[in-house]
Chains A and B, each alone.
Chain A
Amino acid sequence: DADVTQTPRNRITKTGKRIMLECSQTKGHDRMYWYRQDPGLGLRLIYYSFDVKDINKGEISDGYSVSRQAQAKFSLSLESAIPNQTALYFCATSVRGPNYGYTFGSGTRLTVV
């Protein structure tokens, strides 16, 4: 099994729908992150959590919310999806400080039509 599991792998949804992307990890890492990847923009941070009771906004948090249900689970929600939220979304984990890099999930390709 993968260390960081994202579900679903691909999803098509309609404008205005609420959608949740889920992430679970078996690494035992405290820190978890949500990024989105867009062509020409690289990966940009949406939200991050350094432990279960710690949630922080990243550089592009508008239109998104998160929930850290447990150390191992970190979900990203789009309350009312819009077409410009079409992107590849990554969940990642790290030990205290990403000095050894992150462990990434395999990504969720989200299309909003």
Chain B
Amino acid sequence: AQTVTQSQPEMSVQEAETVTLSCTYDTSESDYYLFWYKQPPSRQMILVIRQEAYKQQNATENRFSVNFQKAAKSFSLKISDSQLGDAAMYFCATSYGKLTFGQGTILTVHP
């Protein structure tokens, strides 16, 4: 069984600043994938970034990047140059056949 833990129920950041959202996971599988999803108030689930566990290089998508520490089973999301539109619930998830989600972190962006 896989588990995902997001220990920060809420985070806040000033516009244009950088924020990091934490995620730890547990899995007995060797071949798996990790994801960050964004859920704005519209409640749509939007894929932000994905990481393949067998790749050591951290994934990057524009202002979003991850710090993947496989041995520590840690997968944090860094948002650079935060924008008002980044305000949302963020979910970390891992997959091996099916997606398992963390509890979510609500991100507030202050102008």
Whether, in the assembled complex, B85 has its beta carbon less than 8 Å from a beta carbon of chain A, the answer is no
Tell yes or no: B99 within 8 A of A by CB: yes
How many B residues are at the interface, by size bracket?
Answer: 20 to 34
Number of A interface residues in the complex (CB < 8 A): 23
- CB-CB contacts of A80-106 with B at 8 A, as 1s and 0s? 000000001010100001111110101
Say yes or no: B91 contacts A43, CB within 8 Å: yes
Beyond A101-B37, A101-B47, 9 extra complex contacts between A and B, CB < 8 Å: A35-B101, A40-B104, A92-B45, A92-B99, A97-B95, A99-B95, A102-B45, A104-B45, A106-B42
A interface residues (Cβ-Cβ under 8 A, vs B): 33, 35, 40-45, 48, 58, 88, 90, 92, 97-102, 104, 106-107, 109
The majority secondary structure among interface residues of chain B is: strand
> How many angstroms between the C-alpha atoms of A33 and B99 in the bound complex?
10
Question: Considering the chains assembled together, what is the distance between the CA atoms of A52 and B43 in angstroms?
Answer: 28
Taking the closest CB of chain A, its distance from the CB of B61, in whole angstroms, is 12
Q: Are A107 and B91 in contact (CB under 8 A)?
A: no
Q: Is the CB of A106 within 8 A of B101?
A: no
Instruction: List 5 A–B pairs whose Cβ atoms lie within 8 Å, in order of A's numbering.
Output: A42-B4, A45-B98, A92-B45, A99-B52, A104-B44
Chain B neighbourhood of A41, CB < 8 A: 103
Assuming the A-B contacts A42-B91, A43-B91, A106-B44, are A33 and B101 also in contact, with contact meaning beta carbons closer than 8 angstroms in the complex? no
